[in-house]
Amino acid sequence: MDIEKRVKKVLMKNALKDIDPKELNIDSPLIEYGVGLDSVATLELVVALEEEFQIRIDESEITPETFESIKSISSHISQRI
Amino acid sequence: MSTVRELFLSSVKNFSDKTAVVEDNKRVSYRELGSMVGSFSSFLTAKGINKGDTVAILLPNSIEFVVAFFSIASLGAISVPINTAFKKEEIAFYVNHSSAKLVLTEVKLKSLAEDAVSDTNTSVAVVKGENAEWNITKADSNPPEVSIEPDDEAIYLYSTGSTGKPKRVSRTHLNLVALADNHTGTVGWTENDKILFAVPVSHTYGFGNFISSIKIGASIIVLGDFNRNRVLDLLEEESITVFPAVPVMLDMLAKTFLPEPKDLSSLKLVISAGAPLSERIFHSFYEKYGIYPRQLYGSSETGVISINLSDDIESTFNSVGRHVNNVEVRIVDENGNKVGVDEVGEIAVKSPSMTRGYFGLPEETKKVFRGGYYFTGDLGRIDRDGFIYIVGRKKFFINISGNKVDPSEVENILLKHPKVKEAVVLGVNDSDGIERVKAVLIADKGTGKKEILEFCRDQIAEYKIPRIIEFRDKLPRSPTGKVLKEELK
């Protein structure tokens, strides 16, 4: 599975449980769905991404730009694996 | 020893060369901390602070917080710790309600603090960060001699209610000394312990552990924010022996990816408090780090009530343990009568560290402080070995990682949004059993979740903001018109 699909899977399982997967494409602004507005929820998403990709993501890497969309998260992760 | 000043001076004298506080790369010994408190007390005196005045502390976990608290107490003044996550209106409430004369803060919170006190005579002093008004090298050290009695007030903490506003809880010098005695005497800490504070010391849980640590001459390592990797690095690098946490922190740490294993062999006590510890988190933390978290129970009204130090933690993990030294806990029925072993009732507590009541709320005080006991509003049972189990609560609030949220406060904020007609806020458990804030709204067509979240974000602390927002056309109501919250879960 490519990175974007895996990121989407993590998002749907953690931060966006009540959203229809068809509604979300790789460029959808995640802030519209509340992602990034709540630091605990964001941290939960980060640990889920760490688990999925087996990488260490530091709190300092959690920026609005990184978490803008599935595409931006995937791009950040692809530089780390 | 019966005042906070005596508690502090005793540690400065007995442990003078030991490390008292560590923050980033700064290390302060008890002797240095004693000098800092002398200097800061002079600074506060120059700011017009006298015995009986109230001083708000809007600071993260830091050396400055520690210095500020003990300086205020040494002058016989009263501290009001304020959560740095709070927004303008929230800070204004605490400052006004406590009649704080001065707000101590850091550079990055200066404008927020100034905005919050703009309609008052309260002044703001920046004591942390660049160009701070106070630092150890600038201030002189000539604090006044003040007579302090054990029954003088030392701190105002605030307890979340269900009335829309927090209730002020005053704790005296003697209450705080008793809290430290009871807690340290029970857990057996010594001056060789190193205690990591990632939980805020401005909150009753962090505060209780903080004052206990100083009393025993332990070293405290403070973190301004919870940062998983930093916590893990510190646990290893500083050979931390005690780590007070909340379940969400333990969950995050258990899930954190570790490229290499961590040596946490020094760690002997991981405390979980503020919210129930789930079986999943209990086991997953152990599997990752080889140490079981142990539950502690306390409240702003009483301080520490109990801690689970069981030898058989695996089978009692969901207990908050036995009462700490000098604290009595009983389970009572609706009429206030003690119930039998394992019978469920309300948990009532008698403690030398508990408050006398709520400021300005005689009716509420009469209701929950009766016959020398504080009626916690928590439902529980005590087994034949004296282990306390919490099974529910009578009070209506939402518990977000130990931060209590009053639903009516959030409802009032939501109702200020021009498109929201009706709002109901409640707590719901997610699949991991962690409580979340949910809002059910009747709003104008086309109102989006994002605009509601952003509106809330400007006005209330993040942990109070609804995680789940549901729009409905109408609310389920009883024949008398009461909203049926159970149907909204």
pLDDT in tens, B252-264: 999 999 988 899 9
Q: Same structural domain for residues B66 and B142?
A: yes
| Partner B contacted by A61 (CB < 8 A) | no
Q: Which residues contact A78 (CB under 8 A, 6 or more apart)?
A: A3
Joined together, the tokens standing for residue B452 give 């509601």
Residue A6, min C-alpha distance to chain B (Å)? 17
* CATH number of the domain encompassing residue B435: 3.30.300.30
- With beta carbons less than 8 A apart as the criterion, state whether B15 and B191 touch: yes
Closest CA to B155 of B107, B87, B201, B92: B201
Q: Where residue B203 falls among pLDDT bands split at 50, 70, 90?
A: very high
Beta partners for residue B423, in sequence order: B441
Residue B65, strand partner residues: none
Query: How many residues can be counted in chain A?
Result: 81
Structure tokens at B255: 């899930």
Distance from CA of B440 to the nearest CA of A (A): 14
What is the Cβ-side half-sphere exposure of residue A18, based on CA atoms within 13 angstroms? 12
Instruction: For residues B324 and B425, state if they share a domain.
Output: no
Residues B186/B307, Cβ–Cβ less than 8 Å: yes
Q: Residue B156 pLDDT > 80, yes or no?
A: yes
Nearest Cα to Cα of residue B398 among B162, B189, B136: B162
pLDDT of residue B429: 85
Same domain, B156 and B270: yes
Pick left, alpha or beta for residue B290 (phi over 0 → left; psi -120 to 50 → alpha; otherwise beta): left
Q: B226 and B169, same structural domain? A: yes
Q: Which residue has the higher pLDDT, B124 or A41?
A: B124
B255·A47 Cβ contact <8 A: yes
Query: What amino acid occupies position B166?
Result: P
Q: How far is CA A11 from CA A17, A38, A79, B114, B450, in A?
A: 8, 14, 19, 39, 17
In chain B, what percentage of residues exceed pLDDT 90? 78
Interface test with A, best of B256, B430, B456 (most A CBs within 10 A): B256
Task: List the single range of B106-110, B229-233, B392-396, B477-481 with lowest mean pLDDT.
Answer: B477-481
When pLDDT is averaged across residues B291-309 and rounded to a whole number, the result is: 96
Asked whether residue B282 falls in the same domain as residue B423, the answer is no
B259 inside 8 A of chain A by CB: yes
Q: Does A39 touch chain B (CB under 8 A)?
A: yes
Residue B97 CB contacts under 8 Å (≥ 6 apart), including other chains: B165, B168
Most distant CA atoms of chain A, gap in Å: 31
- Is B317 inside a domain boundary? yes
Please count the structural domains in chain B.
2
Name the token pair of B25: 């790369």
CATH number at residue A39: 1.10.1200.10
pLDDT of residue B179: 96
Q: Would residue B92 count as lying in a domain? A: yes
Per-residue burial over B172-201, b = 16 or more CB atoms within 10 Å of its CB, e = otherwise: bbbbbbbbbbbbbebbebeeebbbbbbbbb
- Please tell me the distance from the alpha carbon of residue B485 to that of residue B274, in angstroms, as a whole number: 24
CB contact under 8 A, B259 and A56: yes
* Residues A33/B468, Cβ–Cβ less than 8 Å: no
Residue A61 has pLDDT above 60, yes or no: yes
Query: Any idea what the CATH number is for the domain that residue B116 is in?
Result: 3.40.50.12780
Quote the mean pLDDT of chain B: 93
pLDDT of residue B163: 63
**Tokens representing B333?**
């029925």
Number of structural domains (chain A) is 1
Where residue B307 falls among pLDDT bands split at 50, 70, 90? very high
Query: Chain B: nearest CA to A35, how far in angstroms?
Result: 10
Nearest CA of chain B to the CA of A49: how many Å?
A: 9
Predicted pLDDT at B197: 98
pLDDT at B393: 77
Partner residue opposite A38 with nearest CB, options B252, B256, B467: B467
Beta bridge partners of B219: B194
Contact between B48 and B34 under an 8 Å Cβ cutoff? The reply is: no
Which residues does chain B have within 8 Å of residue A58's beta carbon, measured at their own beta carbons?
227, 229
Q: Is the pLDDT of residue B180 over 60?
A: yes
- Tell whether A62 lies on the interface with B, counting CB pairs under 8 A: no
- If asked whether residues B373 and B476 sit together in one domain, one would say no
Task: Express each pLDDT in B419-477 by its tens digit.
Answer: 998 899 999 987 777 788 999 999 999 888 888 988 998 899 988 999 889 999 988 88
The pLDDT of B54-68, averaged and rounded, is 98
Does the distance separating the beta carbons of B256 and A38 come in below 8 Å? no
3-class secondary structure, A71:
helix
Question: What does the pLDDT read at residue B275?
Answer: 85
Q: Is B256 on the interface with A (CB under 8 A)?
A: yes
B371 inside 8 A of chain A by CB: no
Q: With 80 as the cut, is the pLDDT of residue A15 above it?
A: no
Backbone angles phi and psi of B170, in degrees to 5: -95, 135
Q: Which strand (E) or helix (H) includes residue B251?
A: helix B247-255
State the best of A30, A39, A40 to mutate against chain B, taking most chain B CBs within 10 Å.
A40
DSSP string, B169-190: EEEEHHHHHHHHHHHHHHHT--
Distance from CA of B380 to the nearest CA of A (A): 29
Question: How far is CA B166 from each of CA B200, B395, B457, rounded to the nearest angstrom?
Answer: 18, 13, 19
Range of the domain at A31: 3-78
Q: Which residue has the higher pLDDT, B165 or B172?
A: B172
In a domain, B291, yes or no: yes
Place of tokens 């780090």: B289
B355 and B416 together in one domain: no
What is the pLDDT confidence band of residue B183, given thresholds at 50, 70 and 90? very high
Domain boundary, last residue among B332, B349, B382 = B382
d(CA B235, CA B249): 14
CB atoms within 10 A of CB B75: 24
Q: How far apart are CA B85 and CA A50, in angstroms?
A: 26
Residues spanned by the domain of B35: 4-382
Pairing status of strand B54-58 against strand B102-106:
parallel
Do B308 and B175 belong to one domain?
yes
Q: Which range has the worst mean pLDDT, B9-18, B147-156, B207-216, B254-263? A: B254-263
Mean pLDDT of B18-24: 97
* Residue-level pLDDT at B480: 67
Six-digit token pair at B192?
């060789």
CB neighbour list of residue B107: distance below 8 Å, 6 or more residues apart: B126, B128, B129, B130, B131, B132
The pLDDT of B28-45, averaged and rounded, is 95
Pair B182, B278 in one domain = yes
Is B444 a domain residue?
yes
Chain A partners within 8 Å of B225 (Cβ): 59
Main-chain dihedrals φ then ψ at residue B433, nearest 5 degrees:
80, 15
Q: Do B479 and B357 share a domain, yes or no? A: no
Q: Is residue B394 part of a domain?
A: no
pLDDT band at residue B164, thresholds of 50, 70 and 90?
low
Contact A32 B401 (CB under 8 A): no
Tell me what pLDDT residue B33 has.
Answer: 95
Give me the pLDDT at residue A19, please: 75
> Cα(B184)–Cα(B208) distance, rounded to whole angstroms?
10
pLDDT average, residue stretch B84-90:
94
Same domain? For B350 and B440 the reply is no
pLDDT on residue B182: 95
Asked if residue A34 lies in contact with residue B452, where contact means CB atoms within 8 angstroms, the answer is: no
Residues B371 and B421 in one domain: no
Q: Model confidence at B139, in pLDDT bands (50, 70, 90)? A: low
Q: Give me the total of CB pairs closer than 8 Å, taking one residue from chain A and one from chain B.
A: 54
Average pLDDT rounded to a whole number, residues B354-361: 93
Average pLDDT, stretch B127-141?
80
Average pLDDT score over residue span A32-53? 83
pLDDT at A31: 79
Is 90 exceeded by the pLDDT of residue B404?
no
Mean pLDDT estimate for chain A: 86
For tokens 């149907």, the residue is B487
Closest-CA residue in chain A for B85? A39
